[in-house]
Every structure is written in C-alpha cells, then in structure tokens.
C-alpha cells in the first residue's frame, strides 16, 4: 500500500493528513477520498488577533506531535509515504515557511518528491468528493473572500473583497467587543440571541458588480459600538448585511456563468445563517447546494493531500527540493489546472 501526506500551514492551522493512494483518481472521476487521518491544531488567542510570528512558533511547537498523531491514527509507518503535498500558497509567509521546512525535512529523510498545492484551489477541489462537479464556489475564510469558478483551464475569480477578508473583518469586530479570536462562532451565537430580529440597524451595504468591501462597514460598526448600541442587535444586523452582500455577489456569478451548483468553502461558511441564506438563493435559482462537512470546510490537511495526489498523478511534483518554495501571494487564477 502507498500513501500521500498532506500538510497545511497557510495561516492559523497546522495540519497533517494521511491519504490512501486510491483517494484521488486521475481526471474527472471523483472517488470517495480515503482520508485515513486528518489531524490539526489551530492557533487561538484571547486577545491581540493573529501575530504571524506567534503563529509560526505555534506551528513549530505542534508539528512533530501532529505528524506522529496523523501517522498513528492512519495506522501506517512513514516509510510507506510516497510523496508529500503541502500548501505553499497563499498565506502568511512565516507560517508557510514553517510548513515548507517541515515538509522538506521529511521529504529528505524519506527521499520522496513534494507537491506544491494552492490552498484556495484545494478548498474548491475537495468539493467534488461530495458531488460538486462544476460549481461556483463562495470561499469565505479569514484572509480570503472570493467567488470562484472554473473556466478554460483555470479557476477564475469572478468577485472578491476589495479590502478585508470577511473572516478577518468579523474577527476584528469580535475583538472590538472583547470576544477573543476566532470571533465568528461567538458572533453567530450572539446574533442568534438577538431579541428584535425585525429591527435591523441600518448599515453600509457595499457591493460593486461581484466585488464586496467591508472597511466602511467596519468603521460604522466601531462607531455604533462606542455609542453603546445593543451588541446582540448590532451583531445580528451585521451578519444580515454582510451575508446578503456575499449571497448577492455569488448569485451574480451563477447568473453570469450559467453554472448550476454552489459550493461553500472556508471557515466563515460554518455559519448556519450564511448557509441558510445561500440555500434560499439556490432554491430560487434551481441551483444545487453543496457544503462539505466541517472538518473539510475549514483549513485542513486532508484537502491539501487530496489535490496533491491529483496533481502528482498528472505529473506535477518536484524531486529537487531546492526548487520547492512558498508563494505567499499566488492568486487562484495563476494556477494552471492541468489535472482536469
């Protein structure tokens, strides 16, 4: 039996996954991915947000433990690993470097090639394991907010944020009201507890074509918080406005491309209100809705291994470790999609 290792370290999560070689058949055949283990440890903090160097220290500290846990959960010996896929782009440089160094160390020891995987594309590709064949993806995470779909050899970005990633925006507001990091789940809970849901507080709604922006909204929210407006009501209204913007951009992309599937990706997509609003829009447009299970929706190494294996089977891998590098700013539409 042969195995591939997936390693994720673009931002707050350090993860290692072991996948069976049959997990990702070459070409269009999407199989049940045989993800034998998908272990991670995410950096969290009560205050201060994500400081890249601190996150790097976190990754360094947990790396070996996570690696050993992934191997033991999969029940394999490392000598069976035939290649290692790691997310080399996009992300925070210190975090990416930690993941790359860890990858190279193992690759050297085992004398196996390395596959460099784009994290955003991995979010998209894992969708096929739940049946999404040609979706528009709404990718909403900490740093990323993009509406992406496949067209002539590449994943194209149809719409995106013009300033902050929606997760970072939500986390900033959460910090402003002392909720700690990550703030998304806590804001969701407070919004659910809002008692006067029919009294929406008026907030800036900023969408141009398929692009969105959050900085004006952020300033306005901070002002209102300073004025002492009810937190529950404000956070509820914030979710309604922000998610309506995202759903509108996504709906435009669906109309523009004529595609009939919507796939969610990224940590913010864990939000049940966002999922609900997407489902309503899909029903109205007769579009199929796909949302991976939480462990494959948030940052994880399983999706990196899954796409890495498809790339490997297409011949995209690197044996010369001196040519393996990170690409912190690589964009989704720069990746040549040769494995489709």
Which residue ranges make up the site for Fe ion (CB under 5 A)? 141, 299
The answer to whether 263 touches 226, Cβ cutoff 8 Å, is no
Give the count of residues interacting with ligand ATP (CB under 6 A).
Answer: 26
10 binds ligand ATP (CB under 6 A): yes
* Stretch of 8-16, 105-113, 149-157, 211-219 contacting ligand ATP, by CB under 6 A: 8-16
Across the strands, what pairs with 156?
149
- Residue by residue, DSSP assigns 46-63 as SSS---HHHHHHHHHHHH
- The distance of closest approach from Cβ of residue 185 to Fe ion in the complex, given in angstroms and rounded to an integer, is 16
Nearer to ligand ATP, 83 or 145 (CB): 145
259 binds ligand ATP (CB under 6 A): no
Q: 139: helix, coil or strand?
A: strand
CA–CA dist 299, 117 (Å, integer): 13
- The distance of closest approach from Cβ of residue 253 to Fe ion in the complex, given in angstroms and rounded to an integer, is 19
Nearer to ligand ATP, 251 or 299 (CB): 299
Nearer to Fe ion, 103 or 300 (CB): 300
The answer to whether 88 touches 120, Cβ cutoff 8 Å, is no
**Residue 268 interacts with which of Fe ion, ligand ATP, none, CB < 5 to 8 Å by class:** ligand ATP
Nearer to Fe ion, 251 or 299 (CB): 299
Question: Residue 8: phi, psi to the nearest 5?
Answer: -120, 130
Q: Could you give the string, one character per residue 164-203, with x where binding to ligand ATP holds by CB under 6 A and - elsewhere? A: -x-x--xx----------xxxx--x---------------
The answer to whether 96 touches 117, Cβ cutoff 8 Å, is no
Nearer to ligand ATP, 108 or 334 (CB): 334
The answer to whether 242 touches 268, Cβ cutoff 8 Å, is no
Locate 74 and state its tokens: 């999969």
* Stretch of 10-18, 215-223, 227-235, 328-336 contacting ligand ATP, by CB under 6 A: 10-18
Q: Which residue of 6, 94, 142, 292 would you call a contact of ligand ATP, by CB under 6 A? A: 142
CA–CA dist 26, 173 (Å, integer): 43
Nearer to Fe ion, 181 or 236 (CB): 181
- The distance of closest approach from Cβ of residue 112 to ligand ATP in the complex, given in angstroms and rounded to an integer, is 26
- Residue by residue, DSSP assigns 216-265 as HHHHHHHHHHHTT--HHHHHHHHHHHHHHHHHHHHHHHHHHH---EEEEE
Its sign, for the CA torsion 263, 118, 144, 188, is: positive
Q: Which residue of 94, 267, 292, 308 would you call a contact of ligand ATP, by CB under 6 A? A: 267
- The distance of closest approach from Cβ of residue 155 to ligand ATP in the complex, given in angstroms and rounded to an integer, is 15
Q: Which residue of 35, 124, 149, 298 would you call a contact of ligand ATP, by CB under 6 A? A: 298
Rounded (5°) CA angle 48-52-56:
120
Q: Which residue of 270, 278, 282, 326 would you call a contact of ligand ATP, by CB under 6 A? A: 270
Q: Which residue of 36, 143, 262, 287 would you call a contact of ligand ATP, by CB under 6 A? A: 143
DSSP strands (E only) in the chain: 3-8, 13-20, 35-42, 81-89, 114-118, 136-140, 145-151, 154-160, 207-208, 211-212, 261-265, 288-290
Q: Which residues bind ligand ATP (CB under 6 A)?
A: 10-13, 91, 119, 141-144, 165, 167, 170-171, 182-185, 188, 266-268, 270-271, 298-299
């Amino acid at each position: 039996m042969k195995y591939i290792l997936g390693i994720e370290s673009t931002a707050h999560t350090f993860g290692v996954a072991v996948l069976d070689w049959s997990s990702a058949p070459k070409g269009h055949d999407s199989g049940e991915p045989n993800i034998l283990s998908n272990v991670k440890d995410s950096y969290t903090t009560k205050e201060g947000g994500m400081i890249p160097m601190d996150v790097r220290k976190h990754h360094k500290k947990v790396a070996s433990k996570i690696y050993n846990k992934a191997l033991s959960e999969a029940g394999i010996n490392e000598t069976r690993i035939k290649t290692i896929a790691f997310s080399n782009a996009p992300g925070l440089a210190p975090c990416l470097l930690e993941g790359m160094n860890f990858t190279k160390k193992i690759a050297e020891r085992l004398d196996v090639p390395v596959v460099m995987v784009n994290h955003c594309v991995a979010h998209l590709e894992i969708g096929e394991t739940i049946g999404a064949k040609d979706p528009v993806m709404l990718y909403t995470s900490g740093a990323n907010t993009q509406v992406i779909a496949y067209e002539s050899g590449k994943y194209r970005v149809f719409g995106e944020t013009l300033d902050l990633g929606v997760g970072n925006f939500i986390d900033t507001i959460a910090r402003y009201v002392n909720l700690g990091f990550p703030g998304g789940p806590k804001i969701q809970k407070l919004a659910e507890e809002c008692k006067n849901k029919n009294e929406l507080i008026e907030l800036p709604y900023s969408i141009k074509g398929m692009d969105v922006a959050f900085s004006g909204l952020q300033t306005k929210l901070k002002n209102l918080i300073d004025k002492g407006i009810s937190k529950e009501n404000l956070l509820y209204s914030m979710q309604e406005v922000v998610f309506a913007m995202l759903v509108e951009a996504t709906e435009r992309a669906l109309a523009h491309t004529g595609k009939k599937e919507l796939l969610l990706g990224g940590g913010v997509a864990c939000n049940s209100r966002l999922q609900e609003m997407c489902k309503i829009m899909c029903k109205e447009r007769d579009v199929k809705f796909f949302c991976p299970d939480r462990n494959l929706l948030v940052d994880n190494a399983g999706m990196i291994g899954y796409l890495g294996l498809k790339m490997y089977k297409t011949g995209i891998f690197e044996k010369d470790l001196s040519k393996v590098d990170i690409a912190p700013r690589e964009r989704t539409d720069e990746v040549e999609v040769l494995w489709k």
